[in-house]
Structure 1
Amino acid sequence: MNDKSKSVKFFEQLSWGIWIWSFIALLCVSIYLSVWAPLGNIAALLVTGISFAGFYSLSIKMRTTTKIEGQMLISNKAKIDLKFIKSATALDAEGFKRLAGVDADPAAFLAINFWSKTGVKVELKDKKDPTPYWLISSKDPKRLVKALVKAQK
């Protein structure tokens, strides 16, 4: 294989938005004040620091990564060869919400986040795989669809 076939043709990593970090900042202030009042400054700083480290670790664990590398679509730890992709559809907020909710197929693979409003439906054509489609969160679903179409050529 040449270097071009292994190159990354698309990369997107979704992590918590500013509104979640704002909430965590307020939560840390609340934790600090709750511990500071009865136990003092050092205990409050220690507990707040440990809490923030826990939140930060959780944010890293909850990140979603989607990439097209070589002839593979990779979403977190799941991989599929591009030859098994039938089609890809960019979904707006309403379509994404419906497909992740009331219209969801229980056999579908979901790589979604609660903070993402848009995504891509990737329909599969592998007869050996019972998974009908992948639903992937994306900030820019049209760019992911274009990258999939281009990579399949």
Structure 2
Amino acid sequence: MASTQPTAEGLDGSVVAYRERLHAPWWMWLLGTVLMLTLGVAYGFRLGAVAGVITFVVAEAVLAALLLVTAPLVVVDDAVLRAGRARLPLRHVGRVAVFDAARTRDARGTRGDKRAYLCLRGWVPASVLVEVDDPDDPHPYWLVSTRRGRELAPVLAAARDAARDVAG
């Protein structure tokens, strides 16, 4: 769920202007549960019902942990853009563009720059392209999945402008 209300976060007291977790969709959870259930039935058939239930419960817990841990967080605070584990100081954010599914597909494919930083999830078809305005950075731009690009882009642009005003 995305949030655009500024809130304090963390020990450093940074002000968060945008926050979105790119969770897997419901159908992926359902598909994973069906596959883990199938695994539990297979083990249960061979080793008994208790082994099957234990297998299902453990496999489902591992699946849930993987789906939760691998869901990247996209955050704009008063200092950086965070996409997954990567950080981009706002003073180095250039132009920001919202991409629909077709433009995202082109940008991550052969038409994109292989040096770009990608924080993409296949179940989130849209993205924002953030140009990197830092000559020392090897990435010309970031391509970041988002379900709310029309909200993220203006928040990011405003945070960038505010950070440059403070620094300048």
Distance, in Å, in 2 between the alignment partners of 1:152 and 1:28 is 45
The residue number in structure 1 matching 2:165 is none
Distance, in Å, in 1 between the alignment partners of 2:86 and 2:46 is 48
Question: Secondary structure at the residue paired with 2:60?
Answer: helix
Offset of residue 34 of structure 1: 0.9
Matched, 1:22 2:26: no
Normalising to structure 1: TM-score of the pair?
Answer: 0.92
The residue number in structure 1 matching 2:132 is 124
Of 30, 39, 57, which residue of structure 1 is paired with 2:65? 57
Question: Secondary structure at the residue paired with 2:128?
Answer: strand
Matched-pair identity in %: 23
Distance, in Å, in 2 between the alignment partners of 1:71 and 1:25 is 39
Distance, in Å, in 2 between the alignment partners of 1:128 and 1:118 is 28
Question: What whole-Å deviation, never above 9, does each CA across 1:1-28 have from its counterpart, x for those lacking one?
Answer: xx7x821000000111011011012112
Of 106, 116, 122, which residue of structure 2 is paired with 1:114? 122
RMSD over aligned CA atoms reads 1.4
Distance, in Å, in 2 between the alignment partners of 1:92 and 1:147 is 18
Number of residue pairs aligned between Structure 1 and Structure 2: 150
Question: Secondary structure at the residue paired with 1:27?
Answer: helix
Matched, 1:94 2:97: no
Question: Secondary structure at the residue paired with 1:128?
Answer: coil
Distance, in Å, in 2 between the alignment partners of 1:29 and 1:77 is 32
Question: What whole-Å deviation, never above 9, does each CA across 1:63-104 have from its counterpart, x for those lacking one?
Answer: 010101112111122111111111010000100111111212
Question: Secondary structure at the residue paired with 2:147?
Answer: coil
The residue number in structure 1 matching 2:77 is 69
Of 20, 30, 35, which residue of structure 2 is paired with 1:12? 20
Unmatched 5+ stretches in structure 2: 1-7, 162-168
Offset of residue 29 of structure 1: 2.1
Unmatched 5+ stretches in structure 1: none
Q: Give the partner amino acid of 2:48.
A: G
Question: What whole-Å deviation, never above 9, does each CA across 1:25-66 have from its counterpart, x for those lacking one?
Answer: 211221122112121110001111111111012112210101
Distance, in Å, in 2 between the alignment partners of 1:64 and 1:74 is 9
